[in-house]
Chain A
Amino acid sequence: MTYALHVNGAEHHVADGWPGESLLYVLRERIELPGAKNACEQGECGSCSVLVDGLLVCSCLVLAESVSGCEIETIERHSALSRVQQAFVDAGAVQCGFCTPGLVVAIEDLLDREPEPDELTVREAISGNLCRCTGYGRILEAVRRAVADPRAAVPPTEPS
């Protein structure tokens, strides 16, 4: 089975794929984009979050072949640090880092839709992303910093 995936603005041809392979597996194992993480593969933890045609999804729950023809954006879409990524580094929001890419994707998605969310809105928006290290305190601080980043006034970074 051969199909194409459009990821971060580039086209990838997947040859000899097995139909049961998830988008997460194909991103990680076939097209060398390991940024989306495989913590549960049940859609419970959000560590595999990506955007498919602008919609935030758990890539572990999406069959890869079914999104051939869609625009897929992963954590690897940025050529430079986004304001959310920078805020995560600066605020100490990263510990083990396994949940981090999924959280960054989810928070960027939130801020695209709601540029100045209150804390409860942020908590709800990321309640599908489990983090076991931080207790979320520094992550919430990172969101505050990202919102206050002067770059928030300009459009988000385009895919590389």
Chain B
Amino acid sequence: MTTTRTQARAPRVGESALRPDGIPKVQGRFLFGNDLWADGMLWGKTLRSPHAHARIARIDVTPALAMTGVFAVLTADDVPGSGVFGLEQADQPVFASGVVRYVGEPIAVVAADHPELARRACEAIVVEYEVLTPLVDSQAAITAAAIHPDGNILRHLVIRHGDIDAIGDVVVEGIYEVGMQDQAFMGPESGLAIPDDDGGVQLFVSTQFVHADRDQTAACLGLPPDMVRATVAGTGGAFGGREDICLQVHVCLLALRTGRPVKMLYSRDESFVGHVHRHPARMEYRHHARRDGTIVKVEARVVFDGGAYASTSSAVLANACCFGAGPYRVPNAFIEGWAVRTNNPPCGAMRGFGAVQTCFAHEAQMDKLADALAIDRVELRLRNALEPGDTIITGQRITGTAPVAAVIRACADAPFPAGAELDPDSESAPMLLRPGGAGRTADARHVTRALGFAVSYKNLMFSEGFDDYSTARVRVEDGIATVHCACAEVGQGFVTLAQQIAREVLDIDEVVLAPADTHVGSAGSTSASRQTWMSGGAVEGACRLVKAQMEADAAAGTVQRVYEATFEHHHAPTQRLDENGQGDAHVSFAFAAHRAVVDVDRDLGLVRVVDVTTAQDVGRVLNPVQALGQIEGGIAQGVGLAVMEELVVDQGRIRNASFTDYLIPTALDMPTVTVAALIEEPEPGAPFGAKGIGEPPTISSTAAVAAAIRAATGRAVDRVPVRPDDLLF
């Protein structure tokens, strides 16, 4: 909401410029969505379903409305526009009506003059349910009776590539599972809505994609899009969990109904049901290879549990399948994927977006294959590594950079950092650094150290024909440049890059960032590792237009005081996948390798991740410190999925919706992270040659840790997160 000025020093592209919001953030002055406040503000609160599947027999809001200090109670009957929303298909109700399909589904919202009163008013609403049997088995959902008018199949995708009947000399099989991970961003969902005099509304919301929020909210409010004036509020992390609508429609409905500003913010337990999660997946794999290690064919059948509503399940499944054979030359493939609807919590985007799940499976398969062939695991990967010009299993030829062998070699050959040597003096290791830490300390004699290795790849930007673009407006006045772009800053550091790019192109030191809002064209979502390329390119393009005009005027002697230009940056068009899952569906690919060293207590089944070393294909580093921060932070989430992070869902109900029970890595849990190499081969078509870097660190780090645990224990480790029971029984 505030305009941020640049620091005195003015670094260009490629330097470690400091964040323009760094100082207000360390001082506690930076305003997040939940810090917002307005005169006469009311508090909104959501009543949610306690059942995974039930018919709603009756709702009586009168006891809540009768409470002094309660100003509105709204249900499905109060939605003036579309009753449903959704990023890919509008299938999710603003409020459940007639039926509830997951635990936590909104039933009603309340506005009151104190948050505690709003909570009590929610409790006073009477809802009578007829409880139904929940559909919680994703495999069964394929043929089960539909739990939604749109059916249970969110997507069924088949990739047929080459000779699907090809047979290898050696065949290895496995069945793998990934549990449900939560984004667990630190700043819970929050937003403030302020009614406008013309019947419209201002919305300030912590989000990844403010134009999608605006459009979906306007449709539900029955307003034209330009009457919903949406601004990205300070956003405390996202990781995919803020791409969908959560409270946007609710808070605007309450503001418009009461005529007063209304603020909503979710508690942590509510946040766990208030956003989508990483899809749990079950994956059956069969790899065929020649005796020399050449991969002949990959077969897979994957089932992703999308939960009650579609969200981005379709695109997640496409990624899982397209990259399901890994970054290897695979001439023949048959991959069948299902994304299904169940009464489990809705799943959608999370960092890595489908590639994480199948990477865990294909990398476990590669290790199995190496062992079956008696070939070194790293060597097997090198023999099959994709190169520029190769064709992937969707029939698409890689026209950009693909330094797969380079990331593998750099990572595998890196020296082990101090403390992570493979022959440790574990007797002298500090207690806190043993598996289990201070609480359940392992006996050093029972600790085994081992390493694992994994490689991954993923698309950058949106795929499958999506018209993906970003818009930036740049104004130069009195030697100061102002950049206006709706790119959501969620912590990734686009604000820093935008300044660096504007300085680089315009050769102007002072660059001001206008608020990210819907008064400028869409920037698309802060997801899919796309904003450096898409919005970075939009800022670059607008700056180049301004610069060209300035230079032309200077040459003509007609210099103006103000220059302004708007640029819409589209990436190269992509195709939909055909009925065989073939087509040039993706723009660009990024590759990464991870090597994990773990200590495992064989008696207790406890794991400590000691080090994760990585090499990553980045195109070009635009800001070294920020790149390091993305890599370290992404690996933390990958390590979390490997050894601790799982939403435990029982009959559709999340059993551990708190930071007491859903564990994310602390500073003591985190291994050292060693960046062996950032491979800088500029990507053709990418602004400044830079590839997105946010997701790859999360993708193969999980698989590498799992491989290391497998090596330490000899156990199958065919499921993540790895639980002590998996290593003992």
Q: A94 on the interface (CB 8 Å rule)?
A: yes
Quick one: which of B16, B28, B430, B633 contacts A74, CB cutoff 8 A?
B28
A75-B28 contact given A126-B667, A138-B625, A138-B628, CB 8 Å threshold: yes
Cβ contacts under 8 Å, B433 to chain A: 120
Interface set, chain B 172-231, CB cutoff 8 A to A: 183-188
Q: How many angstroms from the CA of A122 to the CA of B21 in the assembled complex? A: 25
Give chain B nearest CB distance to A160 CB in angstroms. 11
Cβ of B235 < 8 Å from any Cβ of A?
Answer: yes
With A39-B268, A41-B268, A123-B667 known to touch, is A137 a contact of B629 (CB < 8 Å)?
yes
Given the interface pairs A90-B18, A95-B633, A135-B673, the reply to whether A37 lies near B667 with Cβ below 8 Å is no
Q: Are A42 and B660 within 8 A (Cβ)?
A: yes
- Complex interface: stretch among A63-71, A96-104, A149-157: A96-104
Q: Is the CB of A96 within 8 A of B235?
A: yes
The answer to whether B186 touches A94, judged by C-beta atoms less than 8 angstroms apart, is no
Contact status of A124 and B32, CB under 8 A, knowing A96-B187, A134-B629, A137-B629:
no
A-B contact pairs, 26 of them (CB 8 A): A18-B116, A20-B116, A28-B35, A36-B28, A38-B265, A41-B267, A85-B26, A89-B26, A92-B628, A94-B22, A96-B185, A96-B237, A96-B490, A98-B187, A101-B25, A104-B26, A123-B432, A130-B664, A132-B237, A132-B637, A133-B237, A133-B629, A134-B629, A134-B633, A135-B636, A140-B667
Tell me whether A51 is interfacial, beta carbon within 8 Å.
no
B632 touches A135 (CB 8 A): yes
Tell me if B432 and A120 are in contact (CB < 8 A): yes
Interface residues of A (CB under 8 A from B): 18, 20, 28-29, 32-42, 44-45, 47, 74-76, 78, 81, 85-86, 88-92, 94-101, 104, 120, 122-124, 126-140
Query: Chain A residues with Cβ under 8 A from B673's Cβ?
Result: 135, 137
Contacts A88-B22, A96-B186, A99-B186 known; A137 to B31 CB distance under 8 Å?
Answer: no
**Cβ of B665 under 8 Å from chain A:** yes
CA distance A130 to B236 in the complex (A): 12
Q: Which residues of B in the span 107-148 have a Cβ within 8 Å of any Cβ on A?
A: 114, 116
A132 touches which of B35, B184, B658 (Cβ 8 Å)? B184
Report whether B658 and A130 are in contact in the complex, using a CB–CB cutoff of 8 Å.
no
Known contacts A42-B660, A135-B633: does B26 contact A120 (CB below 8 Å)?
no
B719 in the interface (beta carbon within 8 A): no
> Which chain A residue shows the least CB distance to B639?
A135
CA distance A28 to B35 in the complex (A): 8
B522 contacts chain A at the CB level, 8 A cutoff: no
A contact residues around B492 at 8 Å (CB): 95
Query: In the complex, which residue of chain A has the Cβ closest to the Cβ of B661?
Result: A44
Cα-based distance from A159 to B25 in the complex (angstroms): 19
* CA–CA, A137 and B235, complex, Å: 21
- Does B555 interact with chain A (Cβ within 8 Å)? no
Instruction: Looking at the assembled complex, report how far the CB atom of B516 sits from the nearest CB atom of chain A, in whole angstroms.
Output: 14
User: Is B19's CB under 8 angstroms from A94's CB?
Assistant: yes
Kindly state the separation between the CA atoms of A101 and B668 in the bound complex, as whole angstroms.
Answer: 19
Q: A132-B183, A135-B673 are in contact. List 14 more A-B contacts (CB 8 A).
A: A37-B187, A40-B268, A41-B267, A88-B22, A89-B22, A92-B18, A95-B237, A96-B235, A96-B490, A98-B187, A100-B25, A101-B26, A120-B432, A123-B667
A97 with B21: CB separation less than 8 A: yes
Smallest CB-CB separation from B235: which chain A residue? Answer: A96
A66 to chain B, nearest CB (A): 17
Q: How far is the CA of A143 from the CA of B629 in the complex (A)?
A: 15
Interface of chain B, main secondary structure: loop
Binding site for A on B (CB under 8 A): 16, 18-19, 21-23, 25-32, 34-35, 37, 114, 116, 183-188, 234-239, 265, 267-268, 430, 432-433, 490-493, 625-626, 628-629, 632-637, 658-660, 664-668, 670, 673
In angstroms, how far is the closest chain B Cβ from the Cβ of A123? 4
A135 to B492, CA, bound (A): 13
Q: Contact check, A130 vs B632: say whether CB atoms are below 8 A apart.
A: no
A47 to B237, CA, bound (A): 14
Provide the bound-state CA to CA distance between A81 and B28, in Å: 11
Residues from chain B with Cβ under 8 Å of A124 in the complex: 432, 667-668
Q: Which residue of A lies closest to B665 (CB)?
A: A135
Q: State whether A136 touches B658 (Cβ < 8 A).
A: no
Per DSSP, chain A at the interface is: loop
Give the CA-CA distance A45 to B187 in the complex, in Å. Answer: 11
Enumerate chain B residues within 8 angstroms of A98, measured Cβ to Cβ: 32, 185-187, 236-237
Q: Are B28 and A44 in contact (CB under 8 A)?
A: no
Do A76 and B664 touch across chains, with their CB atoms under 8 A apart?
no
Let me know if A139 and B667 touch, CB within 8 A.
Answer: yes
A135 to chain B, nearest CB (A): 3
Name the A residues within 8 Å of B21 (CB-CB): 94, 97
The residue of chain B having its C-beta at the shortest distance from the C-beta of A142 within the complex is: B26
Q: Which residues of A contact B625 (CB under 8 A)?
A: 91-92, 138
Bound together, the chains give a CA A47 to CA B35 distance in angstroms of: 14
Q: Select B666's contact among A42, A104, A130, beta carbons within 8 Å.
A: A130
Listed residue (B188, B234, B634) with the most chain A CB atoms within 10 angstroms of its CB: B188
Which among A29, A120, A135 has the highest number of chain B CB atoms within 10 Å? A135
Contact B185 A132 (CB under 8 A): yes
B47 CB, min distance to chain A CBs, angstroms: 19
What are the residues of chain A within 8 A of B236 when measuring CB–CB?
37, 39, 96-98
Query: What is the bound-complex CA distance between A111 and B557, given in angstroms?
Result: 60
Q: Complex formed: what's the CA distance from A146 to B31 in Å? A: 25
Min distance, Cβ A47 to any Cβ of chain B, angstroms: 6
- Is there an interface contact between A134 and B632, defined as CB atoms closer than 8 Å? yes
Contact present for B660 and A137 (CB under 8 Å) = no
CB pair A44 B659 closer than 8 Å: yes
Give the shortest distance, in Å, between A70 (CB) and chain B (any CB): 20
Is the Cβ of B32 less than 8 Å from the Cβ of A37? yes
Bound CA span A134–B673, Å:
11
Q: Which of A33, A95, A127, A130 contacts B491 (CB 8 A)?
A: A95
- Which B residues touch A100, using CB under 8 A? 25-26, 28
Cβ contact within 8 Å between A35 and B659: no
- For A35, A94, A99, A122, the residue with the greatest tally of chain B CB atoms inside 10 Å of its CB is A94
State the CA gap A20–B117 with chains docked (Å).
12
Q: Contact at B28–A133, with CB atoms within 8 Å?
A: no
Q: Are A135 and B28 in contact (CB under 8 A)?
A: no
Residue ID in chain A nearest B186 by CB atoms: A98
Which residues of the partner chain B approach A88 to less than 8 Å between Cβ atoms? 22, 26
**A140 nearest CB neighbor, chain B only:** B667
Q: Are A95 and B667 in contact (CB under 8 A)?
A: no
Contact in complex: B27, A136 (CB < 8 Å): no
- Contact status B658-A78, CB under 8 Å: no
Complexed CA–CA distance, A42 and B270 (Å): 13
Nearest A residue (CB) for B634: A135
Nearest-CB residue, chain A, relative to B36: A34
Give Cα distance in the complex from A32 to B37, angstroms.
10
Q: Are B237 and A45 in contact (CB under 8 A)?
A: no
For A81, the chain B residues whose CB sits under 8 A away are: 23, 26-27
* Contact between chains at B26 and A34 (CB < 8 Å): no
Whole-angstrom CA separation of A38 from B236 in the bound complex: 11
A-B complex: 7 closest residue pairs judged by Cβ atoms: A35-B28, A96-B491, A97-B25, A98-B236, A135-B636, A135-B632, A44-B659
Q: Give every chain B residue within 8 A of A28 (Cβ-Cβ).
A: 35
| Closest residue on chain B to residue A39 by CB atoms | B186
Q: How far is the CA of A101 from the CA of B187 in the complex (A)?
A: 13
Contacts of B26 in A (CB 8 A): 81, 85-86, 88-89, 94, 97, 100-101, 104
Q: Are the CB atoms of B32 and A92 closer together than 8 Å?
A: no
Question: A35 → chain B, closest Cβ, in Å?
Answer: 2
Bound-state CA distance A85–B433 (Å) is 28
Q: Which residue of A lies closest to B492 (CB)?
A: A95
Task: Decide if A44 touches B186 in the complex (CB within 8 Å).
Answer: no
Contacts of A138 in B (CB 8 A): 625, 628-629, 632
Expressed in whole angstroms, the Cα–Cα distance for A103 and B98 within the complex equals 46
B493 touches A34 (CB 8 A): no
Give chain B nearest CB distance to A25 CB in angstroms. 8
